[in-house]
Chains A and B, each alone.
Chain A
Amino acid sequence: GAGVSQSPRYKVAKRGQDVALRCDPISGHVSLFWYQQALGQGPEFLTYFQNEAQLDKSGLPSDRFFAERPEGSVSTLKIQRTQQEDSAVYLCASTLLVGDQPQHFGDGTRLSIL
């Protein structure tokens, strides 16, 4: 597609439920990133893929967070046993050439945990 597509746009879940957030990057972009943006703050790095390889997951806040990109295109961020502090906007970005081309962001998924 023309831009990075994320779904769902909004997600409400009860504490303890599992959620899955999807990101469809710009066609041909090999590098994909997930960021978390808490209310009133700048986005913070979660994890990075180059094609299907997860090269950095140092930003994932706990082992309840898991990301995959099995075919090197669409990525899914999964959060198990959600907690209230997981409430945030989750942003996906992709780039053609990491470090040498800008990252382009999707509109994000706003996750609310009740």
Chain B
Amino acid sequence: GIQVEQSPPDLILQEGANSTLRCNFSDSVNNLQWFHQNPWGQLINLFYIPSGTKQNGRLSATTVATERYSLLYISSSQTTDSGVYFCAVVDYKLSFGAGTTVTVRA
């Protein structure tokens, strides 16, 4: 199956800082999703992005499918951004990475 690697595994930020999370995948994919899993365990859709760049408020994502990676940018981080960020590659089912645990400190 497709291998999905996320880095870094853990990230500690001061409120207001910017950060970049990376997702590498081992094979061509139809699509890619980014999720935020909040401390209550809810998986929230952030982006559905096969290629190119999308922005939603303080978050943006870029996928370069030909080079098999995607990046998630968090700008001006807030404590509510804390949680685990997952990328998942899509054929029909999702194959998830192990996640990046983000802690934003006030």
Contact = CB atoms under 8 A, between A and B. Distances in A.
A89 B97 CA distance: 17
A104 interface: yes
A99 B41 CA distance: 24
A102 B33 contact: yes
B73 interface: no
Interface of B: 30-31, 33, 35, 40-43, 45, 48, 86, 88, 90-99
Given A99-B31, A99-B91, A103-B33, A42 B97 contact: yes
Interface size grouping (class) on chain A: 20 to 34
Nearest to B34: A102
A108 interface: yes
Nearest to B101: A40
Interface of A: 31, 33, 35, 41-45, 48, 56, 59, 89, 91, 93, 98-105, 107-108, 110
Contacts of B94: 33, 35, 43, 45, 93, 103
Contacts of A104: 45
Contacts of B91: 99
Contacts of A101: 48
B30 A99 contact: yes
A42 B98 CA distance: 5
B92 A43 contact: no
B41 A110 contact: yes
Nearest to A50: B92
A48 B45 contact: no
